[in-house]
Structure formats: structure tokens, C-alpha cells
Amino acid sequence: MTRTTEPIRTIDWHTGGEPFRIVPDGPAAVTGDGLTVAERRVVAMASDEAQWMRALLCSEPRGHADMYGGILVPPDDAGAHLGVLFWHKDGFSTACGHGTMALGAWPVVSGRVPAPDDGVTDVVIDVPSGRVTASVRTSGGLVEDVTFTNVAAHVHARAVDVATSRGTVTADIAFGGAMYAVLPAEAVGLRVQPENATELIAVGREIRNALNAARAAEHPGDARLSDVYGTVFTEEVRPPTLRADGSRQLHQRNITVFADGEVDRSPCGSGTSARVALLADAGELLPGDELLHESVVGSVFRARIAKQTTAHGIPAVVTAVTGTAHAVGTCRFTVDPRDALLPGFVLR
């Protein structure tokens, strides 16, 4: 890997408990002119410099096995405020809802994107899966919440059998910016609870790897968006309830195991979009209804269908997912070239 010894500045946030480390000054390989964000991701995956930065900031002692972040890059055109390459310990992902929420709040709080003391400001962001919007609601000059309007989400496959160490299970596959396998936690004999995280990680990896080996999640329009990125285990918190306006509110809990065994502390923004696509397809979530999607640590996203549409000739929905993002701190990471453990290590 190409080693840089220059200090790296980051701004750290979390959304629903899931970390998001913002890198405002990325390596030249991915910040030059003339590329789309989707193309920049391909470049990053092949770039020693970008991979070094990702590994350095994800790995211990500067990060941890479940670290997540993004490198800011130029947007595709002047229609967006910024572009971003999402990263984790195993590589560069195509989408990230919780990161998009943090990237909406951060430029408003920092003044990079002007916003009123009271109102809603749209921050438009180009990500590898397309153009998304973070609508930042402010009150009294403070950010109250952020609504992430995603690329179109759709069902890819239903009732796919997968052999696991806990027996054969049946999973649905849906796209919410990335491909997700979705199934009830009870199908593997577990509950969505923190004490079950290790076992859910193990079987989640099995499901993801088996589906990808079978090429079960080939994207219909862009091969770069293919393959299952995460396994979403769900359970119902309570039956749907009727609200005063006649719409329904669903309350479900999930744990998303993504990449190679990482756990999303938030309810997972892009995974929530995939979940909404499945519920909409089944007629269980209608326009006007709301899904309260709870994470394994108890944080909640509120999700709804913003628009019904089609994508690649497939019925699809544009989802709106609302959550909260908070600043954690700023860092200036240094690199001693004599350090024998560079760029770091991950024990799990």
C-alpha cells in the first residue's frame, strides 16, 4: 500500500449509535476531476492510497471492527452539494443511509450549507448508487432531525432458500441502494437482542456468502451494485396500529449484519429502504403508513413511502427515512512511519 505520513483530519458523527467518520480531504486518486462518484468508488477500490487511508482510519488503534465513514469527493455536477465514498473495514460500499443523514447535518451545523434557524434545508449528495437528499430540519438554530430520501428501492427476489448451520432458511432479497437479504430472526432461532449479536453475525455472514456464491443478487441495471451487502434480521415489536388519520404505524426491530460481519448500531438507512420495499410489495405498508424501525441498541428510524415508481422496469418505491445525527468530535490522526503495526489491525 502507498503510505502517507501526513496528518489526516476527520470529523466524527454518529447516527442512531452508528459511527460516521467524515474525511474532508481525500487522496488525489479519488478527488480529481472528470469522474462520477460511482466511478470514483471503482478507482478507490484499486487505489493503494485510498485503501491505505481507509485501513488506517478503520483499523485499531484508530478505529475498530465496526467503524464506518466516508471520504468527501466532488459531486457528479453542480446539482449536488457534495459527493462521498463510503467505507468500512472491508472496503467501499455503494450506499449508506446513516452516513447520508450525518452528511446532511454536518454541513448545516458547520455553515458549509446555509440554513435558516427554523425550517428545512435540503442537502443533495451524490453517492455511488445515485443522487440522494438529506432534508435537515432545524429549530432555534439546532438540527432536530434529518430525512434521507433514497434512490428507488425494489424487491429483487422472494423466498430464496439458503442452507446455514442453523438449517435451511428462506430469505427475501431487496435493493435499497445496496442489496440486502431479509428474514425473521426467529427463522434462525434467535431474537434481535444485543446478547445474540455474535450468533447473528455468524449466521448473517453465512447467508450473505451463500447468496453471493450463488450469484443470487445480480443488479438489473448496474453490475457495480450487485451482490448481497448485508443480512437484515427482523422481528415485530407490536402489531400494526391505526392512527387518527386512518393510516397505520408498524413497529419492527432489526439488526443488520453488513460487509464481512459488521453490525449496524443504527436501524440501517439503506437496509430500512430495502425493508420498506418488501413491505410495500406485500401490501403491508401503504402510502401514508409509517414504519418505526428500531435497532439492536434501541435507536429508531421513521420510514415511509415518499413515491411509488418503477426502476429497470420493476415496481419500486422512493423511501424517506428520518433519524437523528450528532457530532462526536474532531480528530487529527498522525502516522509515525516507524510504527510496525501500520495501517492497523482488526481482531474480530
**Quick check: 197 and 254 in contact, CB under 8 A?**
no
Amino acid at 70: G
Distance CA 190, CA 157 (A): 24
Active site residue 96: yes
**Quick check: 284 and 325 in contact, CB under 8 A?**
no
CA torsion sign, 236 to 176 to 157 to 314? positive
Three-class SS state of 309: strand
Distance CA 126, CA 161 (A): 35
Amino acid at 18: E
Angstrom CA distances, 325 to 74, 92, 122, 131, stand at 23, 22, 15, 20
Place of cell 426491530: 253
Distance CA 211, CA 205 (A): 10
Distance CA 92, CA 136 (A): 25
DSSP β-bridge partners for residue 134: 123, 148
**Quick check: 48 and 2 in contact, CB under 8 A?**
yes
Nearest CA among 162, 151, 125 for reference residue 20: 125
Which residues are tagged catalytic? Answer: 96
